[in-house]
Amino acid sequence: MIYFQSLTKTELVELLKPLSRIKARPEQTEEELDLKATKKARYRAQQIFHWVYQRFVTDWDQMSDLSKDLRGWLKENVEVFRLSERQSRQALDGTHKFLWDLSDSKTIESVIIPAALQEKEEDFATEDPESPTYRGRPVQETVTSPKWTRLTACISSQVGCAMACKFCLTGIQGLDRHLQVHEIVTQVHELRRIAPITNIVFMGMGEPLHNFENVVKACEILLDQDGLNFSKRKITISTSGLVPAIEELGKRVDVSLAISLNGTTDEQRSAIMPVNKKWNIEALLGACRRYPLGSHRRITFEYVMLKDLNDSIEDAARLTKLIRGIPSKINLIPFNEHSGSDFKRPSDETVRQFQKYLMDRKITATVRISRGQDILAACGQLRSIFGTARGTERHRDWGGVNQPSTLNTVS
Ligand code: SF4
């Protein structure tokens, strides 16, 4: 059996071609017959993509405009993959986190992060630092609320991660395995059933470029106009800095790129991101300079701010120099403190000063309000309360499925 979500439309066309051949008339050449079969197979593949990805039909028998023969062949050879939801949980800010069971009993997480137009990330400065819930306004609205103008799916690319970034809970757990193409695509497909997802970020569990071929193929499927039909600007791959893979990515698929930078000297960055020992800041930024950006597009540099480690004005000054000449914007992410880490969050004033330094120098710098903190769905915190994919289940924190949470720490 082939999983439908592992197929690009071109691959599906190839599979359908032998079924799409017409009876040859004596005057027809092999070339003509092949051309006709390709045309018919392409039409059928489009129909099937529409049924599955746009109408969310998973039963071949319900695809009424497909021939009986074709439906029979599909039933025997192709399966529409489903992720089964083990748990889901909604945070006070509307962020919704899902724990999926995979067929080998591993688990992965995806998150829907809603945002409304009027919610600017710069609003950070006006928030109450004493808020017991999170750094924003509890909204108590679901992801299906019409209030949201953007619904971002944050998806996983691996079970665990090998990169071992020191500030990241997934990194602490190590790599279990790569996700297959259908497991990546289906996260978006499942989330789209729940809410009209507008953006995709590969910022969940895993280093997407470490699972390069599967991630690239999944992007091709997500970009397909007959399928989930995301635009290249709406898909962002975030990497810790695998330089050769960044170079290759630019040649293979047109999506947005985000770099998890988090340091302004090699010494500093290597201390928190071991990947920097292999590809240092200079090599990484060299790859960014060569990355083929389309017009009006920018690379996003994510910068997790860690108290007394990378949050000084000297860091801001070095950062300004480092990214000079690269069309870019900076996302400052004040660290989310959790009991699995000794790192601390800088004060609001420090973050504000850092941001101001950059903005005074005409650098676009936003402060990302970490979403879903009460359910630990924020950056670098995925999988923390669901337990690890290696079978250490820590579900005792759960008060029940879909209950708004008041948890703030990992037990
Ligand atoms: S921050 Fe990203 S790359 Fe680093 S360990 Fe965590 S999941 Fe892996």
406 domain residue, yes or no: no
Task: State the residue range of the domain holding 144.
Answer: 84-397
- What CATH number corresponds to the domain at position 329? 3.20.20.70
User: How many structural domains are present in the chain?
Assistant: 2
Is the C-beta atom of 171 inside 6 A of ligand 1? yes
How far away, in angstroms, is 345 Cα from ligand 1 center? Answer: 18
Looking at the structure, tell me whether residues 216 and 114 fall in a common domain.
Answer: yes
Looking at the structure, tell me whether residues 100 and 54 fall in a common domain.
Answer: no
Looking at the structure, tell me whether residues 192 and 227 fall in a common domain.
Answer: yes
Domain boundary pick from 79, 108, 125: 79
Is the C-beta atom of 372 inside 6 A of ligand 1? no
Q: What pLDDT was estimated at residue 103?
A: 92
Q: Are 157 and 208 within 8 A, CB to CB?
A: yes
Nearest residue to 198 via CA among 236, 149, 165, 239? 149
Domain boundary pick from 63, 79, 95: 79
Cα→Cα distances 232→41, 199, 239, 252, Å: 26, 10, 17, 13
pLDDT in tens, the chain (411 residues): 999 999 999 999 999 999 888 777 777 788 888 899 999 999 999 999 999 999 999 999 999 999 999 999 999 999 999 999 999 988 887 889 999 999 998 999 999 988 876 554 444 433 443 433 334 455 567 888 888 889 999 999 999 999 999 988 888 889 999 999 999 999 999 999 999 999 999 999 999 999 999 999 999 999 999 999 999 999 999 999 999 999 999 999 999 999 999 999 999 999 999 999 999 999 999 999 999 988 889 999 999 999 999 999 999 999 999 999 999 999 999 988 876 788 999 999 999 999 999 999 999 999 976 666 666 655 555 544 443 332 233 222 323 322 222 222 222
249 domain residue, yes or no: yes
Looking at the structure, tell me whether residues 28 and 133 fall in a common domain.
Answer: no
How far away, in angstroms, is 399 Cα from ligand 1 center? Answer: 28
11 domain residue, yes or no: yes
Domain boundary pick from 33, 64, 79: 79
Q: What pLDDT was estimated at residue 170?
A: 83
- 297 contact partners, CB below 8 Å, separation of at least 6: 233, 256, 327
How far away, in angstroms, is 108 Cα from ligand 1 center? Answer: 14
- Edge to edge, the sheet with strand 150-154 lists 84-90, 96-101, 107-115, 150-154, 199-202, 235-239, 256-260, 299-305, 328-334, 365-367
- Selecting among 109, 190, 207, 220, the annotated active-site residue is 109
Is 349 in the active site?
A: no
Looking at the structure, tell me whether residues 57 and 125 fall in a common domain.
Answer: no
How far away, in angstroms, is 166 Cα from ligand 1 center? Answer: 9
Looking at the structure, tell me whether residues 62 and 185 fall in a common domain.
Answer: no
d(Cα 183, Cα 406) in Å, to the nearest integer?
30
Looking at the structure, tell me whether residues 102 and 73 fall in a common domain.
Answer: no
Looking at the structure, tell me whether residues 252 and 386 fall in a common domain.
Answer: yes
Looking at the structure, tell me whether residues 176 and 149 fall in a common domain.
Answer: yes
d(Cα 371, Cα 311) in Å, to the nearest integer?
21
Q: Are 371 and 91 within 8 A, CB to CB?
A: yes
Is the C-beta atom of 207 inside 6 A of ligand 1? yes
Nearest residue to 97 via CA among 373, 338, 304? 373
Q: What pLDDT was estimated at residue 119?
A: 52
Cα→Cα distances 264→306, 320, 364, Å: 12, 9, 17
405 domain residue, yes or no: no
Is the C-beta atom of 169 inside 6 A of ligand 1? no
Is the C-beta atom of 380 inside 6 A of ligand 1? yes
Looking at the structure, tell me whether residues 57 and 138 fall in a common domain.
Answer: no
- What CATH number corresponds to the domain at position 41? 1.10.150.530
67 domain residue, yes or no: yes
316 domain residue, yes or no: yes
Looking at the structure, tell me whether residues 99 and 68 fall in a common domain.
Answer: no
How far away, in angstroms, is 167 Cα from ligand 1 center? Answer: 8
d(Cα 38, Cα 41) in Å, to the nearest integer?
5
Is the C-beta atom of 163 inside 6 A of ligand 1? yes
Indicate which residue's Cα is closest to atom 7 of ligand 1: 206
402 domain residue, yes or no: no
407 domain residue, yes or no: no
Is the C-beta atom of 366 inside 6 A of ligand 1? no
Is 109 in the active site?
A: yes
Looking at the structure, tell me whether residues 164 and 267 fall in a common domain.
Answer: yes
